[in-house]
Chain A
Amino acid sequence: MSRRDHTRALRTAGIAAMALVLLCVPALLPDFLVYQFSVALTYAIAILGLNLLMGFNGQISVAQGVFFAVGGYTTAVFATRYGLNAFATLPIAVVTSSLLGLVIGVPALRWQGLPLAFITFGLAVLTPPLALKLEAITRGATGISMTKPVPPAWFPGNQDTALYLCCLAGLALCVVIAARLTRGDTGRSLRAARDNGLIAESLGVNLAKVRIAAFVTCSGMAGFGGGLFAIVNGFVSPESFQMTKSFDFLVGSIVGGITSISGALIGALFVMFLPDWAADMNIALSGLIYGAALVLLMLVARDGVVGLIVKLTDTVSRRFTQGDVGKLQDQPENRQYQT
């Protein structure tokens, strides 16, 4: 078996195991944890979008929480005010957040790099006070509560399980979309625009189109996740979309590994559960524990959890297949500083 086959087999096994565990969650865990897992899945959808933008296309956005909020509010408004079926509002949520993504993605062509990071950061800062101010739509601090959809009579589980499975289906849909987008010609032009815009353009990639499309897809996914979040949570208010949510998505994306699809789920679980565990350990020092965990994790796994796993399996499979040849080139010390 060649090394490539080896890695591929390991990868397939890993993904299958992950899917199996996710399917078993409702059977194994108490209801509240199932609810938390559902929320984590909605985060994973938003983070997956961010991975497409940041990892595969090289644009940074700190506004993923903003699109998440737009999606959440769209679903809540259309479900309560216009009495639409909650799930029927999801496409509308995707459309509204994608439109906002278009509005930002076009000028973003000029703001690449640090400016883009801080302008999107500004949007993230501005979202909670704006949600408070636009009372006519968002009902201000009161928020909008909506009734969670009831599962059909034939469904064997309870409401939490049903909602969890809906979120899982939503994530699966997004994973399929992301997997399609990152392969083949589309994937190549996405990555070419990231690695070297000039060369990409000279090879026929329409840089502006690719970048805008990536931004719109990324924000659309965040809107979808936000809509699902509103359904699972049954309530949206400025409290649910604090500025820190955008940071959480950014951290989740990087911690999981920005150029991976499975990393999105790992990152989502990390930002969902780690702060809670830290608070359980010691409520006064929870922030310190969380911060230290972030720093330590980056010292150990600078390319995220998935990056670390890939590196480890690579080393192991190399040991089994071809001895120590080629080991030297990949040493991190031999890499150039990135500036």
Chain B
Amino acid sequence: MQLFWQQIVEGLASGAIYASLALALVLIYRATRIVNFAQGEMATLCVYGAWQLNQWSVPFWLSILIMLPVSFAFGALTFRLMIRPVLGASDHTMVVICIGFFVGFEAIALAVWGADPQAVPRILPDYAWTVAGVRITANNLGILATLCLLTAALSALFRFTRIGLAMRASAAEREKSPLVGIPVETMLMLGWGLAAMVGFIAAALIAPALFLSPPMMVSVVIYALAAATLGGWDSPAGAIVGGLIIGVAESLCATFVPFIGNELKIGVPFAVMALILLARPQGLFGTTAVIRA
């Protein structure tokens, strides 16, 4: 039983990471109807930036703070230069562009920093509590707390600020929003910037555990995609719940189902997703679009 609870705690912690990346994906999807698989590679590049600053003897927490606006600018620029010209093209065009980003950004990291994994310092202290035989580390708690903060900040932004309202409007009604004076493309650009920043935070949190390398985020992105699909692509709350469910399911199955083990555990999120979506095709928190024919 102790092992069971331990796996749940571990699962929640990794689930929180998947959830934050899924949150970034959902942000972009809601703004531009694009599924950006390259989100993880973009985040990895930014973590490399922070690592490089740290190598130049900037304290790690400070380099993270410096990289936050940089990652925002990176996301916004990517949108401005490469997505805006094809805005409104078919989904298939977008898929190929995102695959292009995926391959290209990873190659940049590989060319500049090489393939060797680099150790990344932890920001959170190495402290652990034992509650009823279950080890809870400060790191895991910190990750969960960051996810909560992130969610609260984002929902406050969307709900209570003018800019958040404008962003929601331009995501929902791209053609009509300019009529009430909303600069839609600027809002979409902000959306991409925010998403890049959220993705960067997720990557910076998981980098100490995975070691920094160019393909570091590939598996995380796979889980995050599953989480966003499970939760429903138009729902940030869904992304978070989906991420946590997938993290826990993965950690439990890898421990308690012997055939799955470490090689096949990447299949768990997809199995969970396939089953749940059979019952609710729009995702747990998703809504079905109503079209007047």
Whether B181 is near chain A, meaning CB under 8 Å from some CB there, is no
**Known A287-B106, A292-B100: A250·B277 in contact at CB below 8 Å:** no
The closest CB in chain A to the CB of B175 belongs to A337
In contact, B82 and A338 (Cβ under 8 angstroms):
no
**Known A54-B92, A118-B226, A285-B107: A298·B100 in contact at CB below 8 Å:** yes
Q: Which of B54-62, B134-142, B199-207, B267-275 contacts A (4 or more CB under 8 A)?
A: B267-275
CA gap between A339 and B87 in the complex, in Å: 10
In contact, B111 and A251 (Cβ under 8 angstroms):
no
The closest CB in chain B to the CB of A54 belongs to B92
In contact, B264 and A288 (Cβ under 8 angstroms):
no
**Known A198-B293, A254-B93, A294-B97: A126·B273 in contact at CB below 8 Å:** no
Taking the closest CB of chain A, its distance from the CB of B78, in whole angstroms, is: 10
Interface range on chain A: under 10, 10 to 19, 20 to 34, or 35 or more?
A: 35 or more
Q: Which of A288-339 contact B (CB under 8 A)?
A: 288, 290-295, 297-299, 302-303, 335-339
**Known A54-B92, A129-B263, A295-B82: A114·B35 in contact at CB below 8 Å:** yes
In contact, A251 and B233 (Cβ under 8 angstroms):
no
Whether B80 is near chain A, meaning CB under 8 Å from some CB there, is no
Residues of B within 8 Å of A303, CB to CB, are 90, 93
Residues of A within 8 Å of B156, CB to CB, are none
Whether B192 is near chain A, meaning CB under 8 Å from some CB there, is no
**Known A118-B273, A125-B266: A254·B107 in contact at CB below 8 Å:** no
- Flag A234-265 by CB within 8 Å of B: 1 or 0 each: 00000000000001001100110010000000
**Known A126-B264, A287-B106: A337·B82 in contact at CB below 8 Å:** no
Q: Which of B238-265 contact A (CB under 8 A)?
A: 263-264
Residues of B within 8 Å of A254, CB to CB, are 92-93, 95-96
Q: Which of A17-42 contact B (CB under 8 A)?
A: none
In contact, A129 and B89 (Cβ under 8 angstroms):
no
Partner of A292, one of B87, B104, B283: B104
Whether A15 is near chain B, meaning CB under 8 Å from some CB there, is no
In contact, B110 and A287 (Cβ under 8 angstroms):
yes
Taking the closest CB of chain B, its distance from the CB of A18, in whole angstroms, is: 23
Whether A112 is near chain B, meaning CB under 8 Å from some CB there, is yes
In contact, B87 and A337 (Cβ under 8 angstroms):
yes
Number of chain B residues whose Cβ lies closer than 8 Å to a Cβ of chain A:
48
Total number of residue pairs linking A and B with CB closer than 8 Å: 143
Partner of B85, one of A111, A122, A258, A299: A299
In contact, B96 and A251 (Cβ under 8 angstroms):
yes
In contact, B92 and A258 (Cβ under 8 angstroms):
yes
The closest CB in chain A to the CB of B35 belongs to A114
In contact, B91 and A287 (Cβ under 8 angstroms):
no
CA gap between A336 and B175 in the complex, in Å: 9
In contact, A122 and B270 (Cβ under 8 angstroms):
yes
Offer 28 A-B interface pairs, CB within 8 angstroms, sorted by A: A110-B277, A111-B277, A111-B281, A114-B229, A114-B233, A115-B277, A115-B283, A118-B229, A122-B222, A122-B273, A126-B266, A247-B99, A251-B96, A254-B92, A254-B93, A286-B107, A288-B108, A290-B100, A291-B105, A294-B99, A294-B104, A295-B82, A295-B104, A302-B89, A302-B90, A303-B90, A336-B175, A338-B88
B-side residues, CB < 8 A to A, are: 33, 35, 82, 85-93, 95-97, 99-108, 110-111, 174-175, 222, 225-226, 229, 233, 263-264, 266-267, 269-271, 273-274, 277-278, 281, 283, 293
Contacts beyond the supplied A121-B225, A122-B270, A287-B103: 5 A-B pairs with Cβ under 8 Å: A54-B92, A199-B293, A285-B111, A290-B103, A336-B88
Nearest 10 interchain pairs by C-beta: A291-B104, A287-B107, A122-B270, A294-B100, A291-B103, A295-B100, A288-B107, A337-B88, A302-B89, A291-B100
